[in-house]
Amino acid sequence: MVKCPACGTSVSVPEKKTGLWWGIGCLIAALAIPFIVAVIGLLAAIAIPAFVKARDTSQRHACVKVPLEIIHANDLHLKISVGGRDLLLLVDTGASGTAVDARMLSRLDLPPACNTSSEVRRVSGSREEKHFHNVSVSVGGRSFVFETFGSADFSSVMPAVNDPLASAVGVLGADFLLSTGAVIDFKNRELRIPFPLVSRITQRGEPDGPANGGQPFAQRPIERH
């Protein structure tokens, strides 16, 4: 008890801790902190690789799934959109490029054709085609810019183009499949376009981005379940 010099009131003052107890507390803290840090580091060492592996696995399996339609025999067809107009194209892994029937040109809003022409090679033969550059095409709700988009005379194999959604009016060729690294899932009738998506479809089918590390379509396994 200590008396206040001003008013004379007795005041209780707690006893000061001895240096022994203060030293013991510091020693315990010094031993506990490295232990806690070691436990946190151990948990991080276990969790971080598992998280990275799960993220990589998720990215490998993440893809845009575009439904395929079978209209005639076992031919696979894919719906695309050019200039806001929906078209049905034949998925042709043997075609060197993507092209639409020349009779559809008047219905599509395409840039002026360039002066060059070439042949679009298909399993059923070759056809002369005109080229259009930097054509925006929507596939599965995703936009792709075709460096070269062709048109050719498919009248012998695609006689009717009155309804572009009832029958194919062109071919989706290897340029798109190679550039995107797309995989055809025959069982589920889907075209799977893996992430990260490329934005530009090149004439030679070279990826304009990191999708699949540029793995060629011919070497990619067909997924079966």
> Are both 95 and 163 inside the same structural domain?
yes
Is the pLDDT score of 216 beyond 50?
A: no
95 in the same domain as 36: no
pLDDT in the model for residue 24: 78
Domain harbouring 123, CATH code: 2.40.70.10
pLDDT for position 219: 34
Give the global pTM.
Answer: 0.60
Cα–Cα distance measured from residue 220 to residue 60, given in angstroms and rounded to the nearest whole number: 13
Range of 32's domain? 19-61
Residue 153 lies in a domain: yes
Residues 6+ positions from 52 with CB-CB distance below 8 Å: none
| Tens digits of residue pLDDT in 4-21 | 666 666 756 555 555 667
User: Looking at the domain assignment, is residue 150 inside a domain?
Assistant: yes
User: What are the pLDDT digits (tens) for 30-80?
Assistant: 888 888 888 898 888 888 888 788 777 776 667 888 999 887 667 889 999
**Predicted confidence (pLDDT) per residue in 183-215, tens digit:** 888 888 899 988 878 888 987 655 554 433 434
